[in-house]
Amino acid sequence: MYGINKMKVFEIQSPKTPIPNKSMNYAGPLIGLATFLIIGLFHPIVIKAEYYFGTRLWWLFLLVGIGCTVGALFVQSTVWSAILGVTGFSALWSILEIFEQRDRVSKGWFPKGPGHRPKK
């Protein structure tokens, strides 16, 4: 990938393969691994955020989601752009999940934390 001045921004040097004149592209597996880790990281974040703060932090997920998604538009590297995009959309999806987590707590599937306000 080349930047504004034709400088290489992000390139993984691949080792020699047994197939002549062929090289491996590590970008796909790297993006896949990052996606797996990001989604796995957001799962406990949503649970802990809902436990300690209820649904009051939904706006923070919105800001992170918008910020990462917009940032992905301006990053020259395909790999980092994809990672930012996955992080942004995972944060946006977490808005839905934090409200669904509230419903799971009300059904007794998860413990009620100190972040829950009493109903008036």
Digit-coded pLDDT (tens) for 19-71: 666 777 889 999 999 999 999 999 999 999 999 999 999 999 999 999 999 99
- Supply 81's token pair: 């752009």
Q: What is the pLDDT of residues 39-49, one digit of tens each?
A: 999 999 999 99
* The pLDDT of residue 20: 64
* The pLDDT of residue 98: 96
The residue among 84 and 117 whose pLDDT is bigger is 84
Q: Give the alpha-carbon dihedral of 71, 75, 81, 84, to 10 degrees.
A: -30
* The pLDDT of residue 15: 61
69: buried, middle or exposed (CB in 10 Å: 19+, 13-18, 0-12)? middle
Q: Tell me how many degrees the CA angle 90-94-95 measures, rounded to the nearest 5.
A: 130
